[in-house]
Structure 1
Amino acid sequence: MGKKFFDDVTPTRRSYLKSGSAVLAGGLLAGCTGQSGSETETETTEATTAATETDATETTAADSSYSVSMSPVGEVTFESVPENVMVYSLLYADMAVAYGHGDAVNSLGFDSDAGGRTLDAYYDRLDGVSFDREGIAQLNNGSSSISVDKELLYELDSDLHLMDPALAVSFDGWEQSDVEEVGETIAPWFGNVYSRAHSTPPEPYADGYEYYTLWELSEKVGAVFQAEERAAELKSVHDDLVETIQSNLPPKEERPTVGVVIFMSDTFYPSKINVDGFATSHIRPLGVTDAFAADDVTYETSYDYETMLEIDPDVLLHSFGVASYYDVNSIEQTLADHPVGSELSAVKNGRVYPSGNPVQGPIMNLFQLEMTAKQLFPEQFGEWPEYDGGAYPEIPEEEQLFDRQRVADIVAGN
């Protein structure tokens, strides 16, 4: 049996009303003793009718329940679409918006203004699509480690924790017993985040953990919000976009070498492109040569200027470059002012670009695919315009690689 969205035992606001109907019927029947026959028959009939109507309502509610499965949580059963949802990672906030339930999100893992600005940057180009982050709680209050106060989850009293429980067990001070307690006494967990890079989740979730593509995750979350048709339509837009890009790519030998980095304090932190996981699903379909393919790159890998010049990618893509923590224009200027950084081919040729957020949901992925195609192949897909760090740039309609109005209509449920 899957977990229930409502708790059948604990008398919370998510409990069934079965006990109420039994008390109602029992009380009415018990009160008939000593009354006249006609009164007894009348009240008995009323009680029986009330009980029957209540049972019918319960049957209808039971029939309307639905279940969705995802590793590592297994099958979760919902009695209705969740209306108050805890979200940690930005991709799930983007999914909630995509499926018409952005207003259900009550929290984000980090600064909601920072994450919200990233979503705004894309949503500004979609009529009627927005994310209201007023009152959104920030879950993480740590700095060097992730610290989430379990009591905050009780205060939020969510209908669903749209987050990977394997991530929760990695929080500072959390044990599996805490994860189980929250899932049983507040609301179930539903999420999978280690598919981002196919990394190994912490125990006790490592055995049997399954990995999904971004669009497989989107399909499952769409089912949670009973928005399967919207999920399928967005997937269709994505598939059309990828086909458009891949059918117009130049021969492989004419494609640039690309390095994906984060730059901080005169240090480059590289990421690989052609690896499993949804983190690079906005770059991998473009079939470019990964400048770091020959290196053993991990999250701890770092390069100085001299090492980067030895590798010397044709293009540098800076992750988290859209309406986020990094001002890529300033970073490019810093590189240009450095005696070694200025020798990088990407700097000399003006090919240092803001790149997408690896923790991307379906709407973000569409824009980030288009953005990357333009940055890497301007002759095929049109020039990437100057970007000031705010909203996603205005792209002339004839140079857009996917239909904005179609996406806006899908989000609106039209």
Structure 2
Amino acid sequence: MQRETAGERGPTRRDYLTYAGVVGSGLLAGCTASGDTESSTAMPSKADSSTANEHSGDATQTTADSESGYTVSMSPVGDVEFDAPPEQAMVVFSHYADMAVALGKAETVQSLYAPDFAGPSLDTFYSRLDGVSLDWEGLPDPLSNGVDKEMLYELDSDVHFIDPSYVVKTQDGWDADDVAEITEQVGPWFGNYHSGLQDQPVSAYADDYQYYSLWELFEKVAAVYQEQERYEALRAVYDNLVSDIQSLLPPESERPTAARVTLIDDTFYAYKLNAPGFWHADTRPLGATDAFADVEWDSTWGMFDYETMLETDPDVILHLWGMSPGYYIDDIRERVANHPVGSQLSAIQNDRFFAGGVRFQGPIANLFQLELTAKQLYPEQFGEWPGYTPGEPYPEIPEEEQLFDRTRVADIVTGTV
């Protein structure tokens, strides 16, 4: 609980190439920590996160106490008491930073995992929203040397937007007692990591672990900041966007086969398109035919070589992080096109090898990524995807071809509405 006591830069292309081998591979492997060696086991959930709509109506419980404070409830942290909205927030993964930005609370973000990677990735979207930004330059990386108690004491955060199950499961020297110490001496934890893939939490938090959709998590973070009106306004934009998209989807028999991958060295790391979890919040509502739907793997992702990709040969390939430093789509596409097997892929030959967005997407990223993926999968219904220029903002799309209103979103975030 809150204790009763007390800029935008442009990395060089050399920087970008460095990220692929250093930060980039860490984002793929490190962010999931030990989860890449474990099966995804769904646990009981009030919300069916496999449904198309990411807001299933699981209302956030927020109650006021007798001294003008309030309580927000979320699994696995339970009922968390706040004296006032947080002014300082420890953030690890970028979806929580995106939530803070969306709620008009960008200035509260004190830290960010791989800021020189995640910051430009978010800027890609924010650049199309007047007055919306995140000052990520210079933010400390809370995972650079692992989650460190000394750093948490130094940050002195009012809230830690990270799942204690993730910390105990992936960080050396952490157990439930250490989590409790930080709660008592610094501030509460407020995160739910395993909803990303609906994978297994650590045993200390496994009882009654609840999975949430992206927009349910956002609703809870909005309650922490006491910004429910902003949440409701942005949710309305999201609901309208999903409704409009799904009303125009072609019959299932006419939808393309697609695969979402990340290429590292000569290995394609593949992700399910329509699986439960908020990591798929930008692909599942679009209902494309997953090229790997019938392929089983026990880890977070499937790993395939060029030959296997050609055997599967999806109509569309969505390259995760394709608008992020180190994975810019032009470089990746060129590598694949110059490979003797990769050049035979239908997605390469038909120019349907596209830049995807970020995996750790918050509400703003989710809106843009739904739009870009709809255009990439169904150009006849939603207009052609114009392509992405490495290092540039999200492409400028004519207003009549936009799937959601940028001005409306910017006005909500900046408080004009």
Are the counterparts in 2 of residues 106 and 135 from structure 1 also a CA contact under 8 Å? no
Q: Normalized against structure 1, the TM-score is what?
A: 0.84
TM-superposed deviation, 1:173: 2.4
1:127 aligns with 2:130: yes
Q: Which residue type is aligned with residue 323 of structure 2?
A: V
Q: Distance in 1 between matches of 2:343 and 2:122?
A: 33
Are the counterparts in 1 of residues 321 and 328 from structure 2 also a CA contact under 8 Å? no
Are the counterparts in 2 of residues 66 and 78 from structure 1 also a CA contact under 8 Å? yes
Structure 2, gaps ≥5 residues long: 7-63
TM-superposed deviation, 1:87: 0.5
Q: Distance in 2 between matches of 1:77 and 1:180?
A: 14
Q: Distance in 2 between matches of 1:172 and 1:342?
A: 43
Q: Which residue type is aligned with residue 140 of structure 1?
A: L
1:411 to 399, 403, 413: 413
Aligned equivalent of 1:289: 289
1:387 aligns with 2:380: no
Cα deviation, 1:257-310, whole Å, max 9, x if unaligned, reads 001111111111111111100101101111110000110133353111111111
Q: Which residue type is aligned with residue 389 of structure 2?
A: D
Aligned equivalent of 1:117: 120
Aligned equivalent of 1:224: 224
Q: Distance in 1 between matches of 2:301 and 2:382?
A: 35
Q: Percentage identity across aligned positions?
A: 54
1:136 aligns with 2:133: no
Q: Which residue type is aligned with residue 381 of structure 2?
A: Q
Q: Normalized against structure 2, the TM-score is what?
A: 0.83
Aligned equivalent of 2:107: 103
Q: Distance in 2 between matches of 1:104 and 1:300?
A: 33
Aligned equivalent of 2:27: none
User: What SS does structure 1 have at the residue aligned with 2:318?
Assistant: strand
Q: Distance in 2 between matches of 1:179 and 1:63?
A: 26
Are the counterparts in 1 of residues 271 and 301 from structure 2 also a CA contact under 8 Å? no
Q: Distance in 1 between matches of 2:263 and 2:237?
A: 33
Aligned equivalent of 1:180: 180
Aligned equivalent of 1:318: 319
Cα deviation, 1:25-74, whole Å, max 9, x if unaligned, reads xxxxxxxxxxxxxxxxxxxxxxxxxxxxxxxxxxx995421111000000
Cα deviation, 1:377-401, whole Å, max 9, x if unaligned, reads 1111111112112311101111000
Q: Structure 1's 212 and 343: CA in aligned 2 closer, same or farther, altered over 3 A?
A: same
Q: Which residue type is aligned with residue 336 of structure 2?
A: L
Are the counterparts in 2 of residues 263 and 269 from structure 1 also a CA contact under 8 Å? yes
Q: Distance in 2 between matches of 1:176 and 1:285?
A: 36
Q: Which has the higher Rg, Structure 1 or Structure 2?
A: 1
User: What SS does structure 1 have at the residue aligned with 2:150?
Assistant: helix
Cα deviation, 1:97-128, whole Å, max 9, x if unaligned, reads 111111001001x2212111111110000010
TM-superposed deviation, 1:338: 1.2
Aligned equivalent of 1:255: 255
Are the counterparts in 2 of residues 62 and 79 from structure 1 also a CA contact under 8 Å? no
Alignment root-mean-square deviation, CA: 1.5
Q: Distance in 2 between matches of 1:250 and 1:134?
A: 43
User: What SS does structure 2 have at the residue aligned with 1:116?
Assistant: helix
Q: Distance in 1 between matches of 2:71 and 2:255?
A: 45
TM-superposed deviation, 1:203: 2.2
1:82 to 83, 86, 103: 86
Q: Distance in 2 between matches of 1:84 and 1:62?
A: 24
Are the counterparts in 2 of residues 117 and 323 from structure 1 also a CA contact under 8 Å? yes
User: What SS does structure 2 have at the residue aligned with 1:81?
Assistant: coil
**Number of equivalent positions:** 356
Aligned equivalent of 1:6: 3
Q: Structure 1's 325 and 64: CA in aligned 2 closer, same or farther, altered over 3 A?
A: farther
TM-superposed deviation, 1:78: 0.9
TM-superposed deviation, 1:153: 0.5
Q: Which residue type is aligned with residue 225 of structure 1?
A: Y
Are the counterparts in 1 of residues 164 and 191 from structure 2 also a CA contact under 8 Å? yes
TM-superposed deviation, 1:339: 1.2
Are the counterparts in 2 of residues 323 and 391 from structure 1 also a CA contact under 8 Å? no
Q: Distance in 1 between matches of 2:67 and 2:397?
A: 47
* Correspondence 1:140-155 to 2 at 5 A: 140-142=143-145, 147-155=146-154
Q: Distance in 1 between matches of 2:65 and 2:174?
A: 35
Q: Distance in 2 between matches of 1:61 and 1:79?
A: 9
